[in-house]
Chain A
Amino acid sequence: MALAFDLDGPTGDAMLSGAIWDRPAYFSLGGYGPWRGLDRILRLLAERAVPATFFVPAWVVEHWPAQCRRIVEAGHEVGHHGYRHERYWDLSSSAQRAVIERSQEIFDRELGGTAVGFRTPSGDWRPETPDLLSAMGFSYSSSMRGDDRPYLHPSGLVEIPARSEMDDYASFAYTRNPDWPSGGSRIASYRATLDSWTREFDGYHAEGLCLTTIFHPKVIGTPGRAALLARWIDHMSAAGGVWFATCREVARWWRR
């Protein structure tokens, strides 16, 4: 079980376009993640002694360095997630390389080390991206959706696939202007979502697979949803025979 969180904060399309600088409320919704959601998640992980991986745009590390250092100090892993949550399939190889180099410098300076793990912001990348990642020293990616256990890319990069049914955006994220979901779909039932996640874990457990999550502190880190997350982790712990690990540990094990 490789719990993983994307600490996007206010990065993403509105920051890439500059629109966010006229939109303090939209910024605040993203800022809730590093400002409030993260600490709540770190606390419940510490209480349960469960490790996790946080994929963090380096812009968030620059603006909330103390908060991000707490991730590392608690023994969790920090992975690459763009500088401002760039869309990798829109970027040339050299632009991708520049984003990674800039972000790794920030990680090294603020967090005392560079990332070995990579999760593409918004999911998609260019065909050459996995080769680039291997050449730049990454050991794994957690970007694809097409499996329920790790596998190797041709470059030797380990892939730890994540699934949309384990993405809290699909159940809970909600914004206006820009509207997300675009059709105005409802915020899902908390109890029904916990039931779905529990059933999913139970299936992975029964089949002996590898489950990771695409959880966002600004979404899953509200007081009530963090309580759901705690209940879900308690269910998984009680199931027995589960290896809770960071994505880096899973990748190392898979490579061996």
Chain B
Amino acid sequence: MTIAWPHGRAAAVVITVAFEAELAILSVAPDATDRAKSLSVGTYGATRGVPRLLAELARRGTPSTWFVPSALLERYPEQVGAIRDAGHELANCGVALEDFGAVDTAVQLAMVRRAQEAFQHSLGVLPTGFRVGRGEMSPGLPAALEAEGFTWTSSLRGDDRPHFHAAPAGRLVEIPQHHQLDDGPYFAFNLDPPIPPGSPRIAPTGDVLDNWVTEFDAYHAEGLCFVLTLHPELIATPGRIGMLAQFLDHVHNRDVWLATAGEVARFWGEHGPANPPEHPVEVYHRIIGATTP
């Protein structure tokens, strides 16, 4: 089925940013609170990464959606203010990259609410979208988010275009993401404590550009929704930012709709078809619905 994207564009592109600063380290190595070198790996994302990434996005007027743990709103007010003032979308990903897989729906929802209050208090912004920071949404969270007023999530991996959640969250739009379109699996690195745990070699920058261009060209040819995820401390080094610039030049030179996740969700909410019964979210909910009311 061909998707009729806005303005007659052939495909959609959503640039998402996960601004995690020191939490990128602390969420996997919680005992690193007094390890200044390791924490500085994340700090770099706030001090150097955010300004450099904002400048690159401004260069060609690329819209983006930023997921910021609410604990960073007070820690880095200048950065988050600059993100907001540049017109980028801000979205909810919980408080401090807590592992959602370790807590139930009620606790997950409490984290989301705390973060919403912090966004309103610090920035006067009320996010409409949510991506889980670490771990997974519980099966019950989408319905709770919809009841809370959210219109979209970006936490699943079962499609290459938006889709709806299964009932009872049937109007909540999901904008799926993919590991191969995320700089984390290619570039994240700390020597000690080892992140990733097996200390794999850092991927060659040019190879990652080739992977993203190969995927993008195919998404474009098929008329899909390409969702990229960037971390300021990883993508915004002096060298990698040039790779991102090459990638964004390639994207801007194609017939695509560059939009925030919220804009794509609004479009899908108004024009997207209902999920067929074979969609993975529908299959999943039929199965768990048979065992849990």
Contacts and interface: CB of A to CB of B under 8 A. Distances in A.
Given A66-B278, A223-B215, A184 B196 contact: yes
Interface of A: 10, 21-32, 34-36, 63-64, 66-67, 172, 174-177, 179, 181-187, 189-192, 222-228
Contacts of A222: 160, 178, 180, 215, 218
A191 B135 contact: no
Given A24-B136, A34-B278, A185-B200, 8 more contacts: A10-B280, A21-B139, A24-B281, A28-B158, A179-B196, A183-B198, A222-B160, A222-B218
A187 B211 contact: yes
B161 to A, nearest CB: 9
A177 B101 contact: yes
B201 A177 contact: no
Nearest to A67: B278
A175 B179 CA distance: 8
Contacts of B186: 186-187
Given A25-B137, A32-B159, A227 B218 contact: yes
B217 interface: yes
Given A31-B280, A186-B186, A227-B214, A25 B157 contact: yes
Nearest to A174: B179
Contact of A31 (B137, B158, B224): B158
A187 B159 CA distance: 19
A48 to B, nearest CB: 17
B203 interface: yes
Contacts of B139: 21-22, 24
A185 B222 contact: no
Given A35-B280, A190-B210, A224-B214, A183 B196 contact: yes
A186 B185 contact: yes
A32 B281 CA distance: 10
Nearest to B212: A224
B268 interface: no
Interface residues on B, range: 35 or more
Contacts of A228: 214
A189 B203 contact: yes
A122 to B, nearest CB: 20
B248 to A, nearest CB: 17
Interface string B213-232: 01111110110100000000
B262 to A, nearest CB: 21
A176 B179 CA distance: 9
Nearest to B214: A224
B267 interface: no
Interface stretch (B51-59, B74-82, B238-246, B284-292): B284-292
Contacts of B283: 31, 63-64
A66 B276 CA distance: 12
Nearest to B226: A223
Contacts of B218: 222-224, 226-227
A187 B216 CA distance: 16
Contact of B157 (A32, A185, A191): A32
20 contacts: A22-B136, A22-B139, A24-B137, A24-B284, A27-B158, A27-B280, A31-B284, A32-B160, A35-B158, A35-B279, A63-B283, A183-B198, A184-B185, A186-B185, A186-B186, A189-B210, A189-B211, A191-B214, A222-B218, A224-B180
B8 interface: no
B157 A29 contact: yes
B149 interface: no
B176 interface: yes
B219 A191 contact: no
A256 B135 CA distance: 53
B197 A184 contact: yes
A35 B288 CA distance: 19
Contacts of A225: 214-215
Give the most central of B178, B211, B216, B287: most A CB within 10 Å.
B211
B175 to A, nearest CB: 13
Contacts of B278: 34-35, 64, 66-67
Q: Which 6 residue pairs are nearest across A and B when measured between Cβ atoms?
A: A183-B198, A184-B196, A31-B280, A28-B158, A224-B215, A223-B218
B163 to A, nearest CB: 10
B207 interface: yes
A22 B279 contact: no
Contacts of B217: 224, 227
Contacts of B195: 184
Nearest to A182: B198
Nearest to B132: A25
A100 to B, nearest CB: 23
Contacts of A186: 185-186, 200-203
Contacts of A174: 179-180, 185
